[in-house]
Amino acid sequence: MTPGVSVPVKPLSIWHPIHLGTDETGRPVFVNLAERNMLIGGEPGGGKSVALQLIVAHGALSADCKLILIDGKRVELGLWKECAEHFVGPSMDDAISVLGWLQQLIDERTDVLLQMKKRKVTPDMGWPFYLVPIDEVAYFSATKGTPAQQKEFNALNRDVVARGRAPGIIPVEATQRPSADIIPTSLRDLFGYRWAFRCSTEASSDTILGHGWANAGYSATEIDPQARGVSWLRAEDGVPRRVKAAYLSDEQIIELADFAATARTRATHDGGNVIPLSRTGDAA
């Protein structure tokens, strides 16, 4: 990106397909994340945090989406902090508090849905979605805090993942290896979409994609360690698809986050929730 040159940005919607990269034939790969959730895994340096940035960027630029960012490392999602309703760094107490708040929000929204005789949020309702990316979920589920705090975090997290879809809460969680001690099997099985980056063992690959996919020829162990961003994505059709994830540089993330934060502040001051069509002075 050339310094001083702005890139036109159009408003997005969480109902729009999210661009994640390209497949083996060079075709763009999109997923519909509204009413879905996603688990991302892979060894360090494989590209999972970069993948998470793509989803956060789409959410930040969507006027109908509020960001709840939870980042054990703080630096991966920290550049989006000014766009978020809540940002949690390496604090177990804060993570538990925010998940408890989301649990309450789910209760409140499902009560209203029941009164409206609806089973889930629909685009015509105008309700904002809450996108909840958690980077390095292992930090909270198995590393930080006391065993009692970890148990509470895991219970809250499972409830948000299990009940969040219908009322418009979208968890997207990333970790190096979502084994049973990191993400319990009962929670892992609730994720509809799986995205596996380079793994060192077939067991780790299957832990992310689901049991049996390595034997079927879909193994993240076969990804070249130098091929960052290459991955297997199991999404809409249920069959893993080889994908090269798109890449946002730090400079691009900073520019997009600054634009999104400014647009959200302006929309709040104007009493609305619409992100402007383009930057001031830019063609749409």
Q: Which two tokens stand for residue 104?
A: 């309450």
Bridging pattern class, strands 65-71 and 129-135: parallel
Average pLDDT over residues 223-245: 92
What confidence score (pLDDT) does residue 9 get? 53
Query: In this structure, what is the dihedral angle of CA atoms 173, 162, 181, 130, given to the nearest 10 degrees?
Result: 20
Interatomic CA distance for residues 126 and 146, integer angstroms: 40
175 has a pLDDT exceeding 90: no
List 174's β-bridge partners, or say none: 40, 135
Averaged pLDDT for residues 49-73: 94
Domain spanning 32-269, CATH class: alpha beta
Statement: residue 180 has pLDDT above 90: no
Domain boundaries, the chain: 32-269
To the question of pTM greater than 0.75 for the whole model, the response is yes
DSSP per-residue codes, 32-100: --TT--EEEE-STTSSHHHHHHHHHHHHHTBTTEEEEEEESSSTTTGGGGGGEEEEE-S-HHHHHHHHH
Q: Which two tokens stand for residue 258?
A: 């600054």
Lowest-confidence pick of 119-123, 210-214, 263-267: 263-267
Question: With 80 as the cut, is the pLDDT of residue 11 above it?
Answer: no
CA 277 vs. chain centroid, Å, equals: 24
Asked whether residue 21 carries a pLDDT value surpassing 50, the answer given is yes
Q: How far is CA 131 from CA 26, 38, 145, 241, 280, in A?
A: 28, 11, 25, 24, 27
pLDDT at residue 177, rounded to an integer:
73
Lowest pLDDT segment from 5-9, 20-24, 82-86, 125-129: 5-9
How confident is the model over 141-167, as pLDDT tens digits?
989 999 999 999 999 999 999 999 999
DSSP 219: -
pLDDT of residue 19: 95
Give the model's pLDDT for residue 272: 52
User: Quick one: average pLDDT of 117-126?
Assistant: 94
pLDDT mean across residues, the chain:
88
- State the Cα–Cα distance between residues 252 and 258, nearest whole angstrom: 10
Q: What is the dihedral of CA 144, 148, 154, 155, to 10 degrees?
A: -160
Pairing of strands 230-234, 241-245: antiparallel
Residues 127-150 have a mean pLDDT of 93
pLDDT tens readout for residues 259-274: 999 988 887 666 554 4
Give the residue from 139, 222, 200, 137 showing the smallest Cα distance to 174: 137
Nearest CA to 68 out of 107, 42, 48, 97 is that of 97
User: Does position 279 have pLDDT exceeding 80, yes or no?
Assistant: no
Residue 4 has pLDDT above 60, yes or no: no
